[in-house]
A and B are shown apart, each in its own frame.
Chain A
Amino acid sequence: MRHNQRIGVFLCQCGSEIADHVDLAKVEKEMRKLAGVTYVKTALYHCSRKGLQQLKEAIREEKLDRVVVAGCTPRTHEGLFQQACEEAGLNRYLFEMVNLREQCARVHQNQNEKATSKAIALIRMGVAKVSAGQAHDSLRAEMEPTALVIGGGISGMTAAVALANRGVKVKLVEKESRLGGMLRSLHRLYPSGVEADSYAESEADTVRENANIELLLDTHLTKLEGHVGNYQVTVENLKGSETFSSGVIIVATGGQVFVPHKMYRYRLQRGIVTQLEFEDMMKRGEVVARNVVMIQCVGSRVEERPYCARICCPTAIKNAIALKQRFLRTRVTILHRGFPEYVEGLDQAQDLGVSFIEYRLDKLPQVRRNIVKVWDQTIEMEAEIPFDLLILATPLVPRLEVEELSKMLKIPRDENDFLVESHVKLRPKEFVPNGIFIAGCAHWPATVGESITQAYGAAARAYALIEKGYLEREPVVAALSEAFCRGCGSCEEVCEYSAIKLEQSDDGLKVSKLNQFLCTGCGSCVSACPSGALKLAFLSDRQMQAVLEQATGI
């Protein structure tokens, strides 16, 4: 079979890098003797523009059906050569690159004879591999033009409407009975002064009026399978469960407020509340207080939760200003550990008469029946502040359901258990599973404005996938011959990516089914299979055997 092939071998001098230590003239002579090799060319730099041009011309003129380039490590120019081959009409899986520089010439200097025979062996290995190989085309999957948005808070609603306005059919799943999320618990937004509840309602109206959005309230996610372009989603509500497919998924499940159990006499007496509870009091008009003390960083920026939750300080300033504007004679004191740069309104608050005391982590404020004792960092004295309302600023933390969600969607979590992106600086809008995007407090404590921006970002990314209409990926995957499968399930056991599953047909026969789109090409299933039903498409046993025969030079 090899004799009918037309293999081209391109030897690279790499300037003098390879040529100085390997006798390429001898190598060329040996290559011409190989069965199936019809063309051998030595050049100074095959990767140069001229070199690539000559490569493509040779493929066309000599009608080469396989190409081996022997030069530097494939980690540098393999892609470049593969592309050149494809431009000349040769499938990239019929191209092999042999490492003569990093793994031969450079490490075996001043032993020309031995380096040369090793080079010859290495190229023979490459020729054997590509000779026993086959062409492979890219995998293609259709993209379902539908989206699933999990969570009906401001982030979810924004993303759903953005996608729906582009013509995408969206299913919005919300586990509560109404839309709005945390907005429903807030009083007024800052600095606009907009009422959070009415704002949530008007956003909800926009969702309800959009014909492309199917709203599923009182519904939660129970199972997720499949891959980007075709996720199989199972949801459950009072009516039962339902499975549908979705092309992309946007996670907007939000966060929850940390409850400061056993801290600062919380719940041990009346008048000690969290910021969220205070918002509710303001909404109901229930605030009657002469002395208000706010303690910042309750349960955040400590060992268990080292992060700054970002929105508690702006909220405190907002509420301090609101209090003073309504009850000018009420004293408001904020105990803090520094404010973030972006906090607005500090000047306005000070002008209105709000007091600020900075405290230290190692000298926490102490709460008694109706006074707070605090060590004032600045004047180095202990202050005793009477209060009839104590507001504890606690951080946003991940929801309890996040652990299950993260496992279901295969999104990793960071050290604080928030769902995490691929890379915070290099890929901030991408998440590890390809077609899933996150917006809002599920990702990190975010303000309403930030949540909206993130939602637009997620929708834009999701739409980009949908608009293309299909997905393509390299066939660096396994291949299954079902005829050889004996249904033992070993492959399913070892696959970390759920790409291969054992299925039972109606007549009781168990056979594995491989979803190549989920496959990463690691080959664990191949080594686990006792029947030889699996192989790696790009490195079959036949290829490996051919390579090993040449490796030992016998």
Chain B
Amino acid sequence: MRNPEPEIVVFACSWHPYTAADNAGAERIQYQPNVKIVKVNCTGNLTIGHILNAFAGGADGVLVAGCGIGECHYIRGNESCKEVIEEAKEILQVSGIDKERLSLELFSDVDGSKFASLMDSFVDKVKSLQKVEARIR
């Protein structure tokens, strides 16, 4: 039986996004529990393989969270991640997976409420897609 609640994998770099997520926790701002955060040092480390692996493993949605352009702790990791995401979206599209299921969000601050509302809106978006198409494994 398929899980009626979507499973979302969030790749968060350990700088702004992960801290924003912790701040949401510090302020106890509630959001839907469908997301599982995977911490990476820098989103520049992510490959198309990582993203497709997440989908192949059963994720209904993948959100990649990095730091703002020009703010990457490792100078340009988020910029190369941006290119990886664009390519990944093409591959998803060709594979029959709606590219709306993959999202890139860049954080210029560590605002907890922004993180929480982002989680909710992404989960809701994926939920709205859930009913429309079948999964390709």
Point out residues on A near B: beta carbons under 8 Å.
Answer: 73-75, 99, 101-104, 106-109, 111, 114-115, 118, 121-122, 125, 476, 494, 496, 520-524, 526-528, 536, 539, 541, 544-545, 547-549, 551-554
Contact = CB atoms under 8 A, between A and B. Distances in A.
Nearest to A536: B45
Contact of A527 (B29, B38, B73, B80): B80
Contacts of A118: 33, 36
B26 to A, nearest CB: 6
A264 B39 CA distance: 61
A126 to B, nearest CB: 11
Contacts of B42: 522-524
A494 B76 CA distance: 9
Contacts of B74: 496, 520, 522, 524
B3 A547 contact: no
A539 B36 contact: no
B109 interface: no
A103 B45 contact: no
B53 A125 contact: no
B64 interface: no
Contacts of A111: 33
B105 interface: no
A284 to B, nearest CB: 52
A539 B75 CA distance: 20
A524 B44 contact: yes
A12 to B, nearest CB: 14
A552 B54 contact: yes
A104 B21 CA distance: 10
B19 interface: yes
Contacts of A102: 21-22, 24-26
Nearest to B51: A548
B9 A548 contact: yes
Interface in B45-89: 45-47, 49-50, 53-54, 57-59, 73-77, 80-81, 84
Given A75-B19, A521-B41, A522-B77, A552 B24 contact: no
A121 B10 CA distance: 14
B33 A106 contact: no
A82 to B, nearest CB: 15
Contacts of A536: 41, 45
A106 B25 contact: yes
A104 B24 CA distance: 10
Contact of B40 (A496, A523, A554): A523
Contacts of A548: 9, 38, 50, 53-54, 57, 59
A107 B40 contact: no
A383 B33 CA distance: 77
A277 B25 CA distance: 64
Contacts of A114: 33
Given A73-B25, A527-B44, A536-B41, A552 B58 contact: yes
Given A114-B33, A527-B46, A549-B57, 5 more contacts: A74-B39, A104-B33, A107-B24, A121-B36, A551-B38
Nearest to B119: A107
Contacts of B77: 522-524
B30 A108 contact: yes
Contact of A101 (B9, B25, B58): B25
Contacts of A496: 74-76
B28 interface: yes
Interface in B7-37: 7, 9, 18-19, 21-22, 24-26, 28-31, 33, 36-37
Contacts of B36: 118, 121-122, 125, 551-552
Contacts of B37: 99, 103
Contacts of B116: 107
Contact of A103 (B22, B30, B84): B22
B130 to A, nearest CB: 14
Given A125-B38, A522-B44, A524-B42, A551 B84 contact: no
Nearest to B36: A551
Given A75-B22, A122-B36, A539-B41, A552 B75 contact: no
Contacts of A523: 40-42, 44-45, 77
A280 to B, nearest CB: 46
Contacts of A107: 24-25, 28-31, 33, 116
Nearest to B49: A541
B22 A73 contact: yes
A107 B50 CA distance: 27
A107 B34 CA distance: 12
B74 to A, nearest CB: 4
Given A496-B76, A553-B7, A554-B57, A539 B40 contact: yes
A531 B26 CA distance: 42
Interface in B74-131: 74-77, 80-81, 84, 116
Nearest to A104: B33
A548 B112 CA distance: 25
Contact of A524 (B45, B57, B59): B45
